[in-house]
Amino acid sequence: MTQLAPTPLTVVGAGPAGIMAAFTAAEAGVSVTLIDDNPLPGGQYYRQAPPEFRFSDPIDAQSGRPDAPAVLKKLPHPIIKVLNNMLVWGVFDQHNLALADGEQSYLLPTDRVILATGAYDRPFAFTGWTLPGIIGAGAALRMIKTQWVLPGKRVLLAGLGPLQLALADALIKSGAEVVCVAEAANLMRSWQQLPKFWGHWERIQEGMAYLNNLRKNKVPVLYNYAIVGAFGKDHVEKAQIARLDEQGAPIPGTERQFDVDSVCLGYGLLPSFQLAAAFGCQLRFDQNLGWYAPQHDASMETTQEGVFVAGDVTDIAGAKVAQVEGQIAGLTAAHQLGCISGKVLAERLGSLRSRLKRLNRLAEALQKIYAFRPGLAKAAKEDTLLCRCEEITFGQVKKALADGATDLNQVKLATRAGMGYCQGRFCSVLAAPVVAEVTGQSMSDLYPFTVRPPIQPIPLGVLASGAKINSHP
Amino acid sequence: MPGDLRIQTGVTRGQPFQITVNGNAVEAYPGETIATVLLAEGGPAFRHTALSGEPRGLFCGMGLCFDCLVTLNGKQNVRACLTYAQPGDIVERQLR
């Protein structure tokens, strides 16, 4: 491993939270190392198109989002060192980050660290969910907006939340047919949340514009429906949705079938907390999410001193919240490193926290409306794959539980679910409700799989690069 | 299977080049990932799984799920969604 020069502050992830965290700390005088595993900064939300593409509307080079340039122009910065195409795969002694690019491994000593590692599409299991043509809604949006390729020409959207409307809009504008949007939320039960939208006119307008476009294109939007099956030989050809009961479980006999060549699954996002867990940060169970996220205080510091989180890695609340959280983390880290006084910190945190409070009112309303209802886990059947990597079914996990497994780690040892390439990112959230139901525990009692380095698979050659072999004389 | 899934309006791509996918010459554009080229081409799975031989394709699109693995220039299990196509690349869908 190549040893890199020590850095006072490392920010992991160059999305909205990471860029603002790095920029805020750097403006306060901290030299920052900003690490990202993509070729260009922006993260997933402000993901930039390849520089080789040319656009009739210049904003399309910067994710097509009007708010992107304001964030992306913070880089380059004289005292922010950006490491692109670089993966953080572990942490040793709390202050040594293990990195890897395509060629070799590096060790980066760092005093403080801000984890802005973002989120990924929540897996949703049902008969046939592994068929080619079925992709995450976030993945579909990225392919359309940055690679300018469609996932298919006849697309069914199934999921939970406003991202589905944005995706449907993008698909239609790009020439695809959206055959149906199956929204799992039951909006009739959400009217209590409406007052929290007061003042957020821009977001309301955006939603209305999407809905109008869907109406104009005669796209059926079915509320309280979820996907329950997909069929095809080598590629998805048919998709089946069903109406949901009070708990969110599909009601047998209410199925409707559509001919498709692609299905986009948008059942929300899950925090990429693996690096935070590797740092030993305590995770908290989030009721709306039905899953875990790193715990943090009002300064975005985790339960580990000097380790901060910002953005979707801890609060699935979108790019605006992420930016403010990044600023709060960046300022606090700068203060801990002696670059700004306690007085300046308090002043600046005051205004950032009131802005965050206002933004969080809307985020919380959306999280409640689009909460992942426990019954949604019932879309999976006994022979449905739970672990895509090791090809383990729900039935096999139930058998391991009948044979005596009592928690997620024991299920992993008994079945191999969670030992594959994705390292449990997709299967742990699917296994947890099954374990909870069979063992009578609550979801919040089931801590996720233990995280071990490398937190993402890296080739052995890269791991061993530069290693000195001790040979005895 | 649908034809070319590339979006045509609003974007101008560079000069296309050729790569080989399972022995067939296929056009790719600068800045495209291997996943984009395979997706645009349509056609069958990116790979079949080792255990049951199930078809798989692009799923998470951000390097986490490892479903889009292909063999690139003789190197197995390369994530197509993270890898940019280069002129002369030889891609094999890992089918059985």
Contact criterion met (CB < 8 Å) for A57 and B49: no
- Name the region of A56 (left: φ>0; alpha: ψ -120 to 50; beta: rest): alpha
For residue range A149-199, what is the model confidence (pLDDT) as tens digits? 999 999 999 999 989 999 999 999 999 999 999 999 988 777 777 777 777
When pLDDT is cut at 50, 70 and 90, the band that residue A466 belongs to is low
Distance from CA of A120 to the nearest CA of B (A): 8
More confident residue, A172 or A461: A172
- CB pair distance less than 8 Å for A148 and B39: no
- Of A227, A249, A226, whose CA–CA distance to A375 is shortest? A249
**A56 chain-B contacts, CB cut-off 8 A:** 10-12
Residues of A in contact with B2 (CB under 8 A): 152-153, 261
Asked whether the predicted pLDDT for residue A458 surpasses 90, the reply is no
Q: In this complex, do B58 and A139 lie within 8 Å of one another by their Cβ atoms?
A: yes
- Report chain A residues whose CB lies below 8 A from the CB of B46: 132
Looking at the domain A123-267, which fold is it? FAD/NAD(P)-binding domain (3.50.50)
Asked whether residue A21 carries a pLDDT value surpassing 90, the answer given is yes
CB contact under 8 A, B1 and A174: no
- Mean pLDDT across chain A: 94
Return the CATH class of domain A2-120+270-340: alpha beta
Q: Is B86's pLDDT higher than 90?
A: yes
Contact B64 A52 (CB under 8 A): no
Architecture of domain B17-93: Roll (3.10)
Q: Specify the pairing of strand A105-115 against strand A96-100.
A: antiparallel
Domain boundaries, chain A: 2-120+270-340, 123-267, 381-445
Q: What is the DSSP string of A130-161?
A: TSTTEEEHHHHHHIIIII-B-S-SEEEEEESS
Q: Name the CA radius of gyration of chain A, rounded.
A: 23
Whether A50 and B62 lie within 8 Å, measured CB to CB: no
Asked if residue B2 has pLDDT above 60, the reply is no
Is B67 an interface residue toward A (CB < 8 Å)? yes
Residue B3 has pLDDT above 80, yes or no: no
Distance from CA of A465 to the nearest CA of B (A): 18
| Mutation for testing the B interface, residue in A52, A269, A313, A456 having most B CBs under 10 Å | A52
Domain ranges of chain B: 17-93
Among B26, B62, B78, B84, the strongest candidate for a mutation testing the A interface, having the largest count of A CBs within 10 A, is B62
Contacts of A270 in chain B (CB under 8 A): none
Q: Is the pLDDT of residue A145 over 50?
A: yes
Query: Is the predicted pLDDT of residue A414 greater than 90, yes or no?
Result: yes
Give the residue-averaged pLDDT of A373-388. 96
Chain B residues whose CB is inside 8 A of the A457 CB are 66
Amino acid at residue number A340? I
Chain A residues lying within 8 Å of B7, measured CB to CB: 144, 148-150, 174-175
Contact between B47 and B69 under an 8 Å Cβ cutoff? The reply is: yes
Q: Cβ A56–B10 below 8 Å, yes or no?
A: yes
- Could you report the per-residue pLDDT of A282-316, keeping only the tens digit for each? 999 999 899 999 999 999 999 999 999 999 999 99
Q: Is there a contact between A120 and B60 if contact means CB atoms under 8 Å apart? A: yes
Q: Give the A:B interface size as CB pairs under 8 Å.
A: 139
Q: Please give the Cα distance from A168 to A96 (Å, whole number).
A: 43
Q: Classify residue A105 by burial, with Cβ atoms within 10 Å: 0-12, 13-18, 19+.
A: buried
User: Which member of A139, A147, A235 has the closest CB to residue B44?
Assistant: A235
**Residue A430 confidence (pLDDT) above 80:** yes
Q: Is the pLDDT of residue B28 over 70?
A: yes
| pLDDT at B92 > cutoff 60 | yes
pLDDT over 90, % of chain A: 85
Minimal Cα–Cα distance from A36 to chain B, Å? 12
Q: Is A437 exposed, middle or buried (0-12, 13-18, 19+ CB in 10 A)?
A: middle
Cβ A421–B65 below 8 Å, yes or no?
Answer: yes
Contact A235 B59 (CB under 8 A): no
Q: Do A53 and B31 touch (CB under 8 A)?
A: yes
- Which residues lie across from A226 on neighbouring strands? A242
Residue B7 to residue A60, Cβ atoms within 8 A: no
Q: Determine the residue among B1, B4, B5 to mutate to test chain A binding: the one whose Cβ has the most chain A Cβ atoms within 10 Å.
A: B5
For residue A471, the model assigns a pLDDT of 42
With cut-offs at 50, 70 and 90, classify the pLDDT of residue A470: very low
Residues on chain A touching B36 (C-beta within 8 angstroms): 143, 147, 149
Sign of the torsion angle spanned by Cα atoms A264, A266, A267, A273: positive
Query: Can you tell me the mean pLDDT for B8-23?
Result: 96
Residue in A with minimal Cα distance to B68: A132
Chain A touched by B15 (CB under 8 Å): no
Indicate whether A123 pLDDT > 50: yes
Q: Do residues A408 and A199 make contact, with C-beta atoms less than 8 angstroms apart?
A: no
**Region A381-445: CATH code:** 1.10.10.1100
Average pLDDT over residues A6-14: 98
CB atoms within 10 A of CB A462: 18
